[in-house]
Structure 1
Amino acid sequence: MKLAFDPWKSPNYKVICIRLSDEVFPDDQHYQVEIYSSEFKKWRVVGSPFLARYDIGFRCTGVYWNGSIYWECGDNSLRFNVEQEMFAKFPMPNINESRVAYYGESSGYLHLVQVHSRQKLTFYNIYEMNSDDTEWYMKYQVNVEDVVNTFPHMIRHYHDPTDRNYLAMSVLCVVRGEKEEEAFMILHIPKMVIRYNLRDNTFYKLYEFGNNSIEENQFEDEDEDYEVPISLQFDRFSAFQYVESLFCM
């Protein structure tokens, strides 16, 4: 399920549902699109069942931007134009040994964050999509090694330093400020959330979780090997900025 809503353009919204097709296709994974319109207050089936890779990530990924919903999955990334109700492929940066650490929208810009899969785990490449959604370009390159040195309890000593899970850290979102120099990245590490400024590479603790969120003694010994609680896994999360509607519903 993905919400297509732009309060600057209309008080109405659409919900885009991508589900497994009810029809039986031998040896293939087919999906079906259904759309709910708040204007007409009903669901409808759109188009015929279509084939997509099993790892496209319809369940947990997808970003609404520039009138389309974008799902990233390597070279097979897809976008769905909500008005035209059509799928199309869109380009992705050359991932090589990297993995996608974050994918989202901020202030009208689509961002993608890459981190090396096995080495240089503190290096982030932050891409921005052109306004005509034809090409990504490198916007920022940052090294958050200072964050790791300041908060070493994020290091998972029971993993090899080249393992992608060596650092208990995830990118919650990239935020474009009113001015370009105000751009920052939000990082989630054990016990706290960090704001990392992309222009001057400074950072500070934005929020610290209380005793009710995490057992304090879980991280008291920075050198002690520990397992991150199931409720606090550091992989990929979706974070959404609050947008106040301009309309009275």
Structure 2
Amino acid sequence: MLSSSAETVVNIEELLRQILERVPALSLITFKCVSKHWLSLISDPEFRRCHTLRNHNPKISSFFPTKIKDENLLKSPFKTLNSAVSDGSNIGILQSCNGLFLCYALSGEQTKHHVYVVNPSTNQFRGLSSPSVSQDKHTFVRYALAFDPSKSPHYKVVCVFNHPMYSKEEQLKTDVYSSETGEWKHLETPFFHGQSYNFNWKSRLGAIYCNGALHWIRKKRKDFHFSYDRKEFTRHETDVLHYFEVSQERMLVVSATTPVPSVVKNIPVGSGYWQPTMWPILAQRYFGECGGRLYLIETYEHCLTQFDVMEMERDYSGWFVKYNVDLNPLAAALPGQDWDPLIVLCLSQEEETYNTGFEDSSVALLLHLPGKVKSYNLRNKTIRTYVELVNKELGLDYHNRILEDVAFPCMETLASV
């Protein structure tokens, strides 16, 4: 039986709302079972809107793998989306954006929807299809999700497409869906002149939302040129980054050649013909956002424990090396560890409290190895166990990690879809 003071709190609607707005989303979902009154309050669209705006920067609560060997082996913090879409569709994840997922119907599925916006915290979803995109297999199409709960409880889905084989118009067609209006709007965005600048199949499927723009990077491996005069490697080609400014509704492209990694610079040069002893092949291990900045990680196949974390300049003038990562101390502590399954899960901001009471934030790199998730602090270069997995044979399928993401981070949110 509730005390008189507790009954007073429950009866003061506004005070109760203010208290519950500060409670994490997953806890609120559990609190729906407290009473019909709480169920009605927490389910109210206005309450969910206020909660989303107040809790616009939640911490990562879980990861959703794109491919797994055995779903029964998954343990926290890894989850699946099987129960999120109730229309029977089999879906895969394209993008994670501030608690919402953009998903796509897997090939062979008979569905009228091309993509789904899913809130894995509430298990709500909305199926969408651009009205202009045909089902023709030759149609080039990229979908992306823009959601910033610090500015609005609504989201937008951008669909960029073209039919390269038959289209005579040099136009990159774009449709934009707004959850606020529930409608698609068609735009006309000019193609970029020059083959190397075209937005095409070389671009990654999943986009990254950062600072009001959606970003696509090329997914192919980077080639090098060896200068026999300077006895050093240089990038062989100019790479590009495409980004769509959501508020301005325009597509832009910038040159985005990445620096030569430190491990490549250290490849020894053989005697005689002054040729390198090995030719570097790099793989993209991570492309994402943290703290309003874009980051990119590439690894060298012969040295997976040392790599650079590159950051994009705010004015898109180019990539620069922000952090140097050396996991050899961790490798020494884990003798016999196979580093080929190393997966970069994400970059995450962490709060630090010093002995003086001073609080500051730093960036941590979350890494998955069989049986464990490690957190590597990029500023002070310390390593700690983020979570020890109960099942050492966690079935993450890492073999396609070079092309696309392996696991998507999820933040708790009550955002409506």
Residue among 144, 169, 174 paired with 1:2: 144
Structure number with the higher helix fraction is 2
Aligned counterparts of 1:177 and 1:93: Cα–Cα separation in 2: 29
Shift of the 136–231 alpha-carbon distance from structure 1 to 2, 3 Å rule, reads closer
Deviation at 1:103, TM superposition (A): 1.1
Contact conserved, 2:242 with 2:254, CA < 8 A, in 1? yes
Aligned counterparts of 2:396 and 2:384: Cα–Cα separation in 1: 26
Greater displacement, 133-142 / 145-154: 145-154
Aligned counterparts of 2:383 and 2:347: Cα–Cα separation in 1: 14
Contact conserved, 1:99 with 1:115, CA < 8 A, in 2? yes
Instruction: Tell whether 2:348 aligns with 1:175.
Output: yes
Contact conserved, 1:21 with 1:31, CA < 8 A, in 2? no
The residue type paired with residue 63 of structure 1 is: I
Matching of residues 1-249 of structure 1 within 5 Å = 1-19=143-161, 21=163, 24-25=166-167, 32-47=173-188, 50=191, 51-57=198-204, 59=205, 61-73=206-218, 75-94=239-258, 96=260, 97=280, 98-116=282-300, 118-152=301-335, 154-155=337-338, 167-178=340-351, 182-211=362-391, 214=393, 231-233=397-399, 235=401, 236-240=405-409, 242=411, 244=413
Aligned counterparts of 1:88 and 1:115: Cα–Cα separation in 2: 28
Aligned counterparts of 2:365 and 2:189: Cα–Cα separation in 1: 40
The C-alpha deviation readout for 1:67-126, integer Å capped at 9, x for no partner, is: 11111117132111112222211232435544332111112222112222x332211211
Greater displacement, 96-105 / 3-12: 96-105
The residue type paired with residue 368 of structure 2 is: H
Contact conserved, 1:154 with 1:167, CA < 8 A, in 2? no
Deviation at 1:184, TM superposition (A): 0.8
Aligned counterparts of 2:252 and 2:335: Cα–Cα separation in 1: 43
Deviation at 1:203, TM superposition (A): 1.3
- Runs of 4 or more, structure 1, over 4 Å off, are 48-51, 178-181
In structure 2, list runs of 5 or more residues that go unmatched. 1-142, 192-197, 219-237, 261-279, 353-359
The residue type paired with residue 295 of structure 2 is: H
Aligned counterparts of 2:416 and 2:200: Cα–Cα separation in 1: 41
Aligned counterparts of 2:190 and 2:389: Cα–Cα separation in 1: 45
Aligned counterparts of 1:146 and 1:21: Cα–Cα separation in 2: 50
Identity of aligned residues (%): 27
Q: Count residues with an aligned counterpart.
A: 220
Which is higher, the Rg of structure 1 or of structure 2?
2
Contact conserved, 1:172 with 1:187, CA < 8 A, in 2? yes
Higher relative contact order (CA 8 A, sep 6+): 2
| CA RMSD, Structure 1 to Structure 2 (Å) | 3.3
Contact conserved, 1:154 with 1:190, CA < 8 A, in 2? no
Deviation at 1:137, TM superposition (A): 2.5
**TM-score, length-scaled by structure 2:** 0.46
Contact conserved, 2:296 with 2:311, CA < 8 A, in 1? yes
Shift of the 248–56 alpha-carbon distance from structure 1 to 2, 3 Å rule, reads closer
Deviation at 1:210, TM superposition (A): 3.1
